Structure 1
Amino acid sequence: MKKLWEGSNQFKENSNLSSYRTWLAKNYHTHFENYEALWSWSINHIEDFWESICHYFDVNFHLPYTQVISSQSMPGVKWFEGGTLNYSEHVFKNYDTNKPAIIFGHESGTINYISWRELKLKVASMASYLKSLGVTKGDRVVAFLPNVPEATICFLAANSLGAIWSSTSPDFGLDSVIDRFFQIKPKVLIAVDGYFYNNKPFDKTKIVTDMVSALPSLEKVIILPYLNERGLAKFPNEFVNINTIWQEYPPQLTFEAVEFNDPIWILYSSGTTGLPKPIVQSQGGILLEHLKYMAFHNDVHKGELYFWFSTTGWMMWNFVQAGLLMGATIVLYDGSPSYPNLNTLWDFADKVNINHFGTSAPFLVASMKNEIIPKNTNNLSSIRSISSTGAPLPPEAFQYVYKHIKEDVWLCSMAGGTDVCTAFVGGCPDYPVYEGEIQCRALGVSLFAYNENGIPVENELGEMVIDKPMPSMPIYFWNDENNKRYKASYFEDYPGKWRHGDFIKINSKTHGLVIYGRSDATLNRHGIRIGTAEIYRAVNKIKTIEDALIVNLELEGGRHYMPLFVKMKPNIVLTDDIKSQINHQLKTEYSPRHVPDEIIEVPDIPYTISGKKMEAPIKKILLKMPFEKSINMDAMKNPDSVNFFVEFSKNI
């Protein structure tokens, strides 16, 4: 295992993690020889650990809590019951007249700086307007916005009132947005008229008006004229221009104290088994988790610039907001990361002096494949960490970062999920970076690799399982009677323990981890998780197709291969014209990311006896995992259907 980087003694001593250990020694009389000892304490004394996070970060409880945790039996855990607080209030504790709160870059080359004063005034005006509409604790405020400062402003305003936030990106198709928002019955929609991507305009006025028609719970629609100020004429008169709100509503900002376990926002699963699951996380749970992770695993300091290339439809957008909790400046970018070329984001990093550069593994892999060498074209002296998530980062990409981007940078590969809006595993200032490995299990995350017998193992492939609760785990899924879908999503395989759906291996020597991709049927497409159900809903509209199955394979060298297998109706064969119909349907209804790499005709689609499509077992077969560990033939309705896939796997 090749060591690629290790922080200097000064780097380690100046880290937030070092400060926290010193504080623990003084206040908790605990001393830890190394990170692994601290991690063990954090998972074996979870009440002490999470309470220490409250004290260390001076979390402001308006009303005190009665106990740290109701029980350690998952699901259904209650944290810090009785305690009340507000996420936005903790953001504005960092108000700073000397540093910008937000830096915003656009693919056109424009860069805007938003001061803490401007941020606070606009959040206050938006909060006043929402309050005038009767928005109150528990109401849903949803957004169809690009990664622009207005999205952050509107989130903080809604949150200050105790309202529940939810957002999607304007590159989502109409059906994708409605599938999400219709379930949660929003009161207010904030939408964009359109956006630019790859120097091309994308008008979204019709999608917005169609969306409004499909969401009868809406009482008000606010429009951000982003593509064209005059484009507002295309909308009904009762829609409100967001710019009038800044001008006409008094900037009076107060913070509604809500229960620790009250909802902060609703994120969405990818829709693998039907409609996307609306995942509800708590105000306090997200606050504590974001404080912990930003400080100790990203090592973000007050006044630094924290950037992550994201959209509002990815949980990393929500995660980025936590930079404000650290007193950092969050850096946003809207547009294509490859326009006019793949050096764009590195050029942007130099222009604004980014300290923490966050991106996806597929972006780094694409840069590598296109032989982009930022160290020859850019300064990058301000960057001290590069973070990567969204997909496993292959060893070749680790090498690429240190050889062709920056040799003295801290590479923080991390992995977690929308389910918890954080990373389970990620960076550790104390540890070296080894080729292909994530550095550590995060504090407070009792994570292990389970073999096929449900036994924790090291140095061999296993299922990622978390056996103790975390505050940012979902409090529930929206409209999920008796937590039925919630329990089925995480707790069916190992009762009382969270199965996340990743294959991992834990290195007993380095304490690092390698993630080998999804063990379930979710498609991880270029760093974005896509549900198979979305694919099937579109393909089902092609009348000549009887059935379909899709998987995404994570192959060596950072390659991905997403084949769509289709069973044609009797006496019909798959033609290029039908393939074009499928691709067009997927692209127009959802996004280009949904288009498969190849469409292949098969004689039959494998099903279980109970009628479930067998995506995960087929994925294992195509990845050439041992057959007997990949599929249970006795559980199949049509076992002969597997033969095609066994033969097909030989040519991958």
Structure 2
Amino acid sequence: MSRTSVLETFLAGNPAGPHHTPGTDTATADTGAATADLDDYAALQAWSVAHPAAFWESVRSFFGIELGGVGHEVIAPSDDPRVFSGRQFYRGTTLNYVDTVLRHAADRPDVVAVIDDAEPGGADTRTVTWRELVHQVSVIAAALRARGVGRGDRVAGYVPNTVEAAIAFLATASLGAVWTSCGQDYSAAAAADRLGQTEPTVLVTADGYRFAGKDRDRRDAVAELQGAVPSLTHVIAFSRLGTEVPGATGWTDLLRDGARTPTVEPEAVPFDHPLWILFSSGTTGKPKGIVHGHGGVVLEHVKSAALQSDIGPDDVFFWYTSPSWMMWNYLLAGLLCGATVVCYDGSPAAPETGTLWALAARHRVTVLGTSPAYLAQCETAGVEPGRDHDLGRVRMLGVTGSVMPASAHTWVADHVGEHVHVASISGGTDVVSAFVCAPTGVPVHPGEIPAVALGVALEAWNDRGESVIGESGEMVITAPMPSMPVGFWNDPSGDRYADAYFSTFPGVWRHGDSVTVTDRGGVVIHGRSDATLNRNGIRMGSADIYSVVEHLPDVEEALVVGIERADGSYWMPLFVVPAPGREVDDALREAIATALRTEASPRHVPDDIVAIPAVPHTRTGKKLEIPVKKVLLGGDPNVVADPESIDDPAALRWFGEYAASTLSGSGAS
């Protein structure tokens, strides 16, 4: 029997959805056209932008998001004419993120809420039911309260991706305190650069984790982190490696002693009250603390996860991620929708490349998330997920972290299964969600993200600030979204926030991506606009080059930049990591040039093709095109990007050595 999607139910004109409680509406909206008048996603998207207050009120009502306080307009004018933000939504109302999560326990107490897994030889696979989730959140919340944590205080997590991390976040938020975290793959110094900014009073951590077949003991790093963050007064630690963290209160001790703890009652906080502090990548300076509010995240995440990805109580949601990355926060949106979520703290490719597919089959995952880099790794290794694993329940494959090449769509269809809907998305830590997406039921065209997300007023603007269709431009958002930051941490004037997004086009959010909006409403992501290639006045996206070059069997990975030389000329080198056993010789250079000339255009052929040992990435897999460009122009590799934010700092240092030995006197700088 076919399944009725959440979106179909919403479009059927039933704003009082399955979680709606009559008489709880506290906000008002001019509802404009009723959702019953809309018959598909495209119509709903257009309506959501034309009538934003009506749209967001419909989302709130449909999902039964209860608000306290006094009724207010859904979207208020901005207090700061320079910017818009998440502070503009539902002023005067109250709620708590945790209420929306824990209400699912009432009807499904014995259903599994979280699956916790690790690499073979690591921690045992565990499951936590909704009843157990409520109890453990209650115990940890009581423990935090006993340690002086209250509304507005910060709790930091230096944690692997485990059920304890999720519980610690929920316990923190239930008190009106603010959560901030990073993974234990960060050094203590890098963690302190991020977490220390927030002056947390309690640290939640682990003894370590297992990755790529090795136990990573992090107890010394925890001690170093404590010493580097003087605001910390208490440490709570759980074990993944069977050891104890010296001086910390044990997690299992808290659960044992808190057996009779009363069920937590989440504290009602203002709609824009800080929920968590996320951090920018740190590849263009010191990481910025980005603050999101309770209400904005709840609205955005139920919209994104349920309406666009059709995630509900019957789903098992697994996105391979880390607490350092916004996709960890988005993974928890599954709990907002009543789904089972999978926490996994190992490598996606250990003990073998296809490990992620094996996990999806074992846990009967329905919505799986990964990155283009992992798909390419599987293709290169000859992995056959559909043949080797039962992936019949996987109906959606989410992909983000970098631009997804068109060829990856074909590989998924041929080697995973034609039944899998490939949902390439793009967004950012800035809104802890996606601007563009691939909703179920919307046709996917390889190389193009098929739709703009609901409630997102997205356009491509040229240099004159004019909206363009069918040509590349700056991606801008012309109206507020509820999950936009309520501000940056330690930015009381709002100047840093205004400069980050609103300095190019006053009063309009410039995200920093170069995109083309197609005439069918899809979006092609060309890459970061600061890294856009501009050759002889022609703008080109680096992704257009990668989609051709990285499909060649003799190329493992590539990176291209455009350099404006001091003499006014333009140099566009392509740096190539050859496939194992292959060299970047004249034959390969000619093959690359021919492929680009025929499959892209003659303008895409680089000036030079240079062999490199590795491409540097952020820890979430994005190529460091802008830092590489700065290094080739004479920048210090240790200054243009935080080494701790890079997967392989030596790969970036290589470009510094190359610039010093090869480009000196060339006029590149």
CA distance in 1, matches of 2:388, 2:488: 47
Q: Which residue of 2 aligns with 1:417?
A: 428
Alignment of 1:522-537 (within 5 A): none
CA distance in 2, matches of 1:276, 1:517: 21
Q: CA deviation at 1:430?
A: 2.8
Aligned: 1:87 with 2:97 = yes
Q: Which residue of 1 aligns with 2:396?
A: 385
CA distance in 2, matches of 1:552, 1:447: 30
CA distance in 1, matches of 2:656, 2:488: 36
CA distance in 1, matches of 2:642, 2:63: 46
Flag the 1:215–1:487 CA change in 2: closer, same or farther, 3 A: same
Q: CA deviation at 1:33?
A: 4.1
CA distance in 2, matches of 1:351, 1:56: 33
Q: CA deviation at 1:603?
A: 6.6
Aligned: 1:599 with 2:661 = no
Aligned: 1:519 with 2:529 = yes
Q: CA deviation at 1:551?
A: 9.8
CA distance in 2, matches of 1:126, 1:198: 31
Flag the 1:591–1:380 CA change in 2: closer, same or farther, 3 A: same
Question: What is the identity, as a one-letter code, of the residue corresponding to 1:426?
Answer: C
Flag the 1:146–1:206 CA change in 2: closer, same or farther, 3 A: same
Q: Which residue of 2 aligns with 1:644?
A: 668
Q: Which residue of 2 aligns with 1:297?
A: 308
Aligned: 1:174 with 2:188 = yes
Aligned: 1:325 with 2:336 = yes
Question: What is the identity, as a one-letter code, of the residue corresponding to 1:363?
Answer: Y
Partner SS for 2:324: coil
CA distance in 2, matches of 1:568, 1:331: 44
Contact 1:104 1:113 in 2 (8 A): yes
Give deviations 1:551-587, integer Å, cap 9, x for gaps. 9799xxx998785875899xxxxxxxx99xx89x987
CA distance in 1, matches of 2:632, 2:528: 25
Q: Which residue of 2 aligns with 1:271?
A: 282
Question: What is the identity, as a one-letter code, of the residue corresponding to 2:119?
Answer: E
Q: Which residue of 2 aligns with 1:462?
A: 473
CA distance in 2, matches of 1:44, 1:443: 11
Flag the 1:117–1:268 CA change in 2: closer, same or farther, 3 A: same
Q: CA deviation at 1:599?
A: 2.5
Give deviations 1:414-448, integer Å, cap 9, x for gaps. 01000010001112223111111112001100001
Contact 2:236 2:251 in 1 (8 A): yes
Q: Which residue of 2 aligns with 1:447?
A: 458
Q: CA deviation at 1:465?
A: 0.4
User: Alignment partner for residue 190 of structure 1, among 204, 214, 223?
Assistant: 204
CA distance in 2, matches of 1:25, 1:214: 50
Q: Which residue of 2 aligns with 1:227?
A: 241
Contact 1:447 1:465 in 2 (8 A): yes
Q: Which residue of 1 aligns with 2:551?
A: none
Q: Which residue of 1 aligns with 2:120?
A: 108
Flag the 1:641–1:112 CA change in 2: closer, same or farther, 3 A: farther
Contact 1:272 1:521 in 2 (8 A): no
Relative to the length of structure 1, the TM-score reads 0.80
Give deviations 1:284-335, integer Å, cap 9, x for gaps. 0000000100111111121210110001100000011110111100111110
CA distance in 2, matches of 1:350, 1:57: 30
Partner SS for 1:130: helix
Q: CA deviation at 1:25?
A: 8.2
Q: Name the stretch that deviates more: 471-480 or 72-81.
A: 72-81
User: Alignment partner for residue 127 of structure 1, among 141, 157, 168?
Assistant: 141
Q: CA deviation at 1:519?
A: 1.6
Relative to the length of structure 2, the TM-score reads 0.78
CA RMSD of aligned residues (A): 3.2
Q: Which residue of 2 aligns with 1:478?
A: 489
Q: CA deviation at 1:10?
A: 4.7
Contact 1:565 1:602 in 2 (8 A): no
CA distance in 1, matches of 2:103, 2:666: 58
Partner SS for 1:340: coil
User: Alignment partner for residue 401 of structure 1, among 387, 392, 412?
Assistant: 412
Q: Which residue of 1 aligns with 2:13?
A: 23
Q: CA deviation at 1:271?
A: 2.2
CA distance in 2, matches of 1:521, 1:436: 19
Q: CA deviation at 1:34?
A: 3.1
Q: Which residue of 2 aligns with 1:610?
A: none
Flag the 1:99–1:568 CA change in 2: closer, same or farther, 3 A: closer
CA distance in 2, matches of 1:565, 1:160: 44
Aligned: 1:42 with 2:52 = no
Q: Name the stretch that deviates more: 467-476 or 41-50.
A: 41-50
Flag the 1:455–1:203 CA change in 2: closer, same or farther, 3 A: same
Q: Name the stretch that deviates more: 484-493 or 95-104.
A: 95-104
Q: Which residue of 2 aligns with 1:247?
A: 256
CA distance in 2, matches of 1:375, 1:482: 53
Structure 1 unaligned segments of length 5 or more: list them: 1-8, 528-549, 570-577, 606-617, 619-639, 646-652
Structure 2 unaligned segments of length 5 or more: list them: 17-30, 533-541, 547-555, 558-613
Count of residues paired in the alignment: 559
Partner SS for 1:353: coil
Q: Name the stretch that deviates more: 298-307 or 591-600.
A: 591-600
Contact 1:304 1:328 in 2 (8 A): yes
Flag the 1:350–1:568 CA change in 2: closer, same or farther, 3 A: closer
Flag the 1:601–1:450 CA change in 2: closer, same or farther, 3 A: same
Contact 2:460 2:517 in 1 (8 A): yes
CA distance in 1, matches of 2:303, 2:95: 17
Q: CA deviation at 1:459?
A: 1.2
Partner SS for 1:186: coil
Q: Which residue of 2 aligns with 1:626?
A: none
CA distance in 1, matches of 2:332, 2:6: 19
Flag the 1:567–1:115 CA change in 2: closer, same or farther, 3 A: closer
User: Alignment partner for residue 205 of structure 1, among 191, 195, 219?
Assistant: 219
Partner SS for 2:434: strand
Contact 1:551 1:564 in 2 (8 A): no
Contact 1:361 1:391 in 2 (8 A): yes
Give deviations 1:434-469, integer Å, cap 9, x for gaps. 111112001100001111221111111111100000
Q: CA deviation at 1:71?
A: 1.3
Q: CA deviation at 1:23?
A: 2.3
Aligned: 1:493 with 2:504 = yes
Flag the 1:351–1:117 CA change in 2: closer, same or farther, 3 A: same
Identify which of structures 1 and 2 has the higher relative contact order when contacts are C-alpha pairs closer than 8 Å and 6+ apart: 1
Q: CA deviation at 1:642?
A: 8.7
